[in-house]
Amino acid sequence: MDCIFCKIIEGTIPSSKVYESEHVLAFKDIQPAAPVHILIIPKKHIPTMNEVADEDDAVIAELFSAARHIAREQGVAEAGYRLINNVNSDGGQVVYHLHLHLLGGSKLGPLLADKLS
Judged by beta carbon, residue 71 or residue 99, the one nearer ligand 5GP is 99
The minimum distance between CB 24 and Zn ion, in angstroms, equals 13
Contact positions toward Zn ion, by CB under 5 A?
3, 5-6, 45, 97
The minimum distance between CB 77 and ligand 5GP, in angstroms, equals 22
Contact positions toward ligand 5GP, by CB under 6 A?
4, 13, 15, 27-31, 39, 86, 92-95
Strand partners, 28: 38
Contacted by 6, from Zn ion, ligand 5GP, none: CB < 5 to 8 Å by type? Zn ion
- C-alpha to C-alpha distance for 85 and 99, rounded to whole angstroms: 6
Judged by beta carbon, residue 55 or residue 67, the one nearer ligand 5GP is 67
Judged by beta carbon, residue 78 or residue 113, the one nearer ligand 5GP is 113
Catalytic site includes residue 99: yes
Q: Which entry of 37, 97, 99, 101 is annotated as an active-site residue?
A: 99
The strand order across the sheet containing 36-42 reads 17-20, 24-28, 36-42, 100-104, 81-84
Burial of 117 (0-12, 13-18, 19+ CB in 10 A): exposed
- C-alpha to C-alpha distance for 19 and 87, rounded to whole angstroms: 23
- C-alpha to C-alpha distance for 85 and 82, rounded to whole angstroms: 10
Query: What's at 103, amino acid-wise?
Result: L
Q: State the catalytic residues.
A: 99
